Structure 1
């Protein structure tokens, strides 16, 4: 687990509807990022939700997505908007997602801490018990 500190704003790891070509990318990210690059989130599996995916921590699995670095001028507003999109409120037991800092792999094999929206514990429990797993770990290959 990573604890955000004084190193500055963290990038976001996006793996579903915020990826390029998906419905929320242009709505939230276009013109607000300095960098977008492929990324991999090891230690998590991907499950289908109602029109969007959930990442659930699971050793040995990997989720594919993009590592998005917000521009300095956009970061605070984007963080607020993404929390709202994901219906995340810190400490709220009704959350569908929890925003957590986790290591994400870049294409060159290095890792960087990033914000990841993981399925909340209650949602993760339901998905593990009977959810539909996206075996490729890639939302774009869900078929």
Structure 2
């Protein structure tokens, strides 16, 4: 793998520990609560998954940073990219490096998946998650449900 960047990914929705796609994150990581500033979290319904977009500087999204050991990172990244539709045409999400803050104050950089289909956000069923925390969405799909 050529320059894979930091062996970390910020997860904010169905990939969070305990959420329905957490198994895609694989193994070999530690998870720590973290906040990503300058982004907005959306709930897409009926799809039942979140969309993260650049937002105002004072916006914040709560999630977790998964820090992998290098071999686990190389094994996990293709599955994460597949789930997020990185190679779809057009892509569902793009992957970029962003700065975030781990609870306790440590600043890190990590990969984050940013929603790439702005037109969907203007359609019915897309709403901003006011708290910025996916776990506050009452009608989100739970583990074992179909979808993203």
What band does the TM-score fall into relative to the shorter chain?
0.7 to 0.9
Q: CA deviation at 1:32?
A: 2.4
Matched, 1:48 2:43: yes
Distance 2:101 2:122 in 1: 24
Change (3 A) 1:141 1:32: same
Determine the structure 2 residue equivalent to 1:133.
Answer: 128
- Residue from 45, 54, 59 that aligns with 1:57: 54
* TM-score, structure 2 normalization: 0.80
Could you report, residue by residue, the CA deviation over 1:3-31 in whole angstroms, capped at 9, with x for unpaired residues? xxx79533100001111110111x22353
Could you list the runs of 5+ residues in structure 1 that have no partner in the other structure?
Answer: 1-5
| 8 A contact 2:27–2:72 mirrored in 1 | no
Matched, 1:106 2:102: yes
RMSD (Å), alpha carbons: 2.2
Matched, 1:124 2:118: yes
The aligned length equals: 133
Distance 2:12 2:69 in 1: 19
| 8 A contact 1:88–1:97 mirrored in 2 | yes
| Runs (4+) off by over 6 Å | none
* TM-score, structure 1 normalization: 0.83
Could you report, residue by residue, the CA deviation over 1:36-71 in whole angstroms, capped at 9, with x for unpaired residues? 100101001110121110111101211100000112
| 8 A contact 2:26–2:76 mirrored in 1 | no
Change (3 A) 1:28 1:93: closer
